[in-house]
Structure 1
Amino acid sequence: MSRKGNCWDNAVAESFFKTLKTELVYQNKFVDKAEAALAVFEYIEIWYNRKRLHSTLGYMSPHDFGEFLNKQNIAA
């Protein structure tokens, strides 16, 4: 943990929410809360975790990176 007020504490979460808003929220008009919740769920589970490439993971999706780590643990 770092000191109170350190700007790096929430950097990962802030980056994710910026991406979510830019790629999903600002591009759509939602009729109600349920539609928005479904769209956010689909964005995270289908696009962000399974298809979107992340530079910090060596340009792999989180899903692929997780599978890669699981194969490394089994082999070790």
Structure 2
Amino acid sequence: MLVKTECVRGRVFPTRAEANLALFEYIDGFYNSRRIQKRLGYLSPIEFEEKHYVEQATAERTNLKPRQPALTS
């Protein structure tokens, strides 16, 4: 199991609570946010989200229409 290999193996935890905290920090801090995922095009969730917002901002700039000059009478 990957979590056992990367987070727990070789460590001794005095209490179950400390072991749970170590696992939570690993899963929330690294595994879920930085690990590449096939379904995201082999990007990490952070990289995928950054790419999404860059593409969204680019599309918004492209779709902006030039302002029309104000008509004066």
1:14-62: CA deviation from partner (whole Å, max 9, x where unpaired): xxxx1101101113111110000100100011011122334x2333213
Identity of aligned residues (%): 46
In 2: Cα distance, 1:70 partner to 1:51 partner: 16
Q: Aligned pair in 2 of structure 1 residues 46, 70: CA closer, same or farther (>3 Å)?
A: same
Letter aligned with residue 15 of structure 2: D
In 1: Cα distance, 2:14 partner to 2:51 partner: 40
In 1: Cα distance, 2:11 partner to 2:41 partner: 30
Q: Which runs of 5+ in 1 are unaligned?
A: 1-17
- Report the TM-score when normalising by structure 2: 0.55
Correspondence 1:50 to 2:33? yes
Over aligned residue pairs, what C-alpha RMSD do you find?
2.5
- Report the TM-score when normalising by structure 1: 0.53
In 1: Cα distance, 2:35 partner to 2:17 partner: 24
In 1: Cα distance, 2:44 partner to 2:19 partner: 24
Q: Which residue number corresponds to residue 6 of structure 1?
A: none
